[in-house]
Amino acid sequence: MSEPIAVLGAGAWGTALAIAAAARGPVRLWARDPARAAAIAAARENARLLPGARLPAGVEVTADARAALSGAAFAILAVPAQPLASVLAGLPAALPPLIVAAKGVEQGTLRLPLETVSALRPGLPAGVLTGPTFAHEVAAGLPAAALVASADPAVPALVLPRLGSGLFRLYAGDDPVGAQVGGAAKNVVAIAAGAVIGAGFGENARAALVTRGLAEIGRLAAALGGRRETVAGLSGLGDLLLTCTGEGSRNYSLGVALGRGLGLAETLAARTGVTEGVPTAPALLARASAAGVEMPIVSAVAAVLAGEASVAEAMRALMARPPKAEG
């Protein structure tokens, strides 16, 4: 039998990854809340966040992080970007190679996920799992592709054969910076794309916004030491295509609600999952500003979320920008 892997975080994405990984060997799914762990284990289903997706027999659910990690070939840390540091700090001192499945920029520190890992667990082999993946589709075994990016080539080499399968195709990447910027920024652009549709500005406007959003992402990735071509792949363009058009996107649907005139607080209050683009937008804008990178679409989203501009005002400001060459 192959070594187990640990999936740390029993949200929708963590649960889906545990289901996918069980096709290749044993999996331990860790939930921070003992009551939630017990409920998922008893029902063999994460009824609250991923209803209808049954856990295979090879998935063990536990609230004991030490037990989940014992003997694991590697661990997938599948928690949102904002609590990532606190969760990581509370894990046992000895960790196997770590794959972070968060997409975002941490408020306050402005760190990308792997920067948080490096700060709290220096020297730990780590990578990021990112790409166009809806949890419910991965859990259902529908075809999908994602990227495992790391500066250490041994990390993707370890993960790909154990996590990938015939219908969950994984690619190796050596540009974790570009991959993380793409994964974080696409959520913010998706809010803008949804707002455009919700406000009735049309498909032309959405296509233009997504394309220009991709250009913004590429500029920031390059400024932080990544590569623009990474953003043209799964972690940038691929994720944008899914998140800016798919009805299952929490960020896109939030934007639609805002475009229709609903308030941010009431929209978020009606949700069970995390809409990562909301805390990421101002943090991403601050990180870009510190790097000397202009991101007009991200700035517009941050202004709308902060109540400083309406969707219509933000769109007028974007359209009134001085003419320039594409790039």
Cα angle for residues 283, 257, 236 (degrees, 5° grid):
45
Query: Looking at the chain, how many residues does it have?
Result: 327
Coil, strand, or helix at residue 276? coil
Whole-angstrom Cα distance, residue 211 to residue 86?
Answer: 35
Residue 190 has, within 13 A of its CA and on its CB side, a CA count of 31
Asked whether 61 and 55 are in contact (CB, 8 A), the reply is yes
| 103 carries an active-site annotation | no
**Amino acid found at 85:** A
Listed in order, strand segments (DSSP E) in the chain are: 5-8, 27-30, 59-62, 75-77, 98-100, 126-130, 144-149, 168-173
- Sign of the four-CA dihedral 118, 120, 126, 129: negative
**First vs last C-alpha separation in the chain:** 51
Q: What are the percentages of helix, strand and coil residues in the chain, rounded to 5?
A: 50, 10, 40
Coil, strand, or helix at residue 65? helix
Phi, psi torsion values for 230, nearest 5 degrees: -60, -40
- Sign of the four-CA dihedral 171, 176, 180, 181: negative
Catalytic residue among 111, 186, 219, 287: 186
Whole-angstrom Cα distance, residue 50 to residue 39?
Answer: 13
Distances (CA, A) of 153 to 156, 160, 232: 6, 11, 21
Active site residues: 186
